[in-house]
Amino acid sequence: MEWLILAQSRPDVGLILLPLLIVFGILMALGILIVKALICCKIFAKAGYCWAYGLLMFIPIANIIMIFMLAFGEWPIQRQLRRLEQWQRQ
């Protein structure tokens, strides 16, 4: 409550807090963006695709196509496993 009274009595406090909040918001957004990029790239790499496909998740329309590719396409790692199983049976 004291902070509210202080902010009302001194308008320059708002001029100081607003840029700090904007910088904090930008840093949080960048942090979340970096974490999302790492997660998407790791998912594509584990599926057997090139890790850079994860970066396509940031491009509109391409991200929808990539999700469908992951969900319904045959992953390279599955293809490799199938070949190894066929080779082992022979």
8-66 tens-digit pLDDT: 555 666 677 888 899 999 999 999 999 999 999 999 999 989 999 999 999 999 999 99
Mean pLDDT across 57-76: 93
Count of domains observed in the chain: 1
Say whether pLDDT at 4 is over 90: no
Secondary structure (DSSP) of 20-61: HHHHHHHHHHHHHHHHHHHHHHHHHHHHTS-GGGGGGGGSTT
In this predicted structure, what is the pLDDT of residue 23?
92
In this predicted structure, what is the pLDDT of residue 8?
58
Which amino acid would we find at residue 24? F
**What pTM does this model have?**
0.71
Give phi and psi for 73, each to the nearest 5.
-85, 160
Domain range for 84 is 2-89
Which amino acid would we find at residue 39? I
In this predicted structure, what is the pLDDT of residue 11?
60
CA atoms of 2 and 73, how far apart (whole Å): 59
In this predicted structure, what is the pLDDT of residue 36?
96
Q: How far is CA 17 from CA 20, 26, 51, 54, 70, in A?
A: 5, 14, 40, 36, 44
